[in-house]
Amino acid sequence: MTLNLGDTVPNFTQKSSEGDIEFYKYLGDSWGILFSHPKDFTPVCTTELGTVAKLKPEFEKRNVKVIALSVDSVEDHAGWIKDINETQSTEVNYPILADQDRSVANLYGMIPPAAENTLTVRSVFIIDPNKKLRLSLTYPASTGRNFDELLRVIDSLQLTEYEKVATPANWTQGDDVVIVPSLQDKAELEKRFPQGWTEVKPYLRLTAQPKR
C-alpha cells in the first residue's frame, strides 16, 4: 500500500511491548508519530529508541503520542528494552509494536517491493488528530533519525494548521513566519497580524510568529 500526504492512515490491531494496541484508540484525539525499525538489537535503532524516551515530555507538550515498530517478538522487545535502558541511560516509556507478521509494515508500505529483507523498514509517519498523514520519511539503515527535526516539523504543522502562515527554511519556534499568498484581503491581514509584516516581494511577506 502506498500512503500519500493527506490520506487517512489505516487502523490496525497489533501486539506490542505494552499489550495489544488498536492504533486509532491509542492515538485518540492526539497527534501521533509511528516510527519503524528493521529488527531488535540493532545499534542505530537502540540510540533512536533511547532518544525518543528522553524526548517524550517534549512530544507530550505538543499532544503527540509516540509508538515504535519492530518486526521481532514481544519477548525480544523485552530484552531489547533492557539494553536500551542500560546503554542510553533512560527508561523506554512508550509501546513498541511486535510486527512479526509484517502486517503493519505492509499496510503502511514500509517494505518496498524490491527489498530483499527488512533492513529498509525505517520509516517515520506523522499523523494528525483526524488520522491524516502529514509527513512521511524513509531513512537508510545506517543513518540515525533526527528527532529534534521531527519536533520542529510538528511545531510547524501545528502552527500552520490554525494560522494562515507557512514556515521558511530552517525555521524554529519563535522565528518569523511567511504569510500564505492566498491571504490578500487587507482588513483580514491587519486583523490576523496586528504586529505588521514586511513585504519582501508581493508573494513573500514575513511576520512575527503568531501567538497561540
Q: pLDDT (tens digit, 9 = 90+) per residue, 4-50? A: 999 999 999 999 999 999 999 999 999 999 999 989 999 999 999 99
Query: What CATH number does the domain containing 138 carry?
Result: 3.40.30.10
Give the count of domains, the chain.
Answer: 2
Q: Would residue 212 show up in a list of annotated catalytic residues for this protein? A: no
Options 34, 45, 52, 98, the catalytic residue: 45
Q: How far apart are CA 45 and CA 188, in angstroms?
A: 47
Residues 86 and 36 in one domain: yes
Q: Contact at 8 Å (CB) between 116 and 147?
A: no
Name the residue range of residue 174's domain: 163-207
**pLDDT of 118-150, one tens digit each?**
555 789 999 999 999 999 999 988 899 999 999
Q: How far is CA 82 from the centre of its chain?
A: 24
Residues 47 and 94 in one domain: yes
Residues 101 and 171 in one domain: no
Say if 45 falls within a structural domain.
Answer: yes
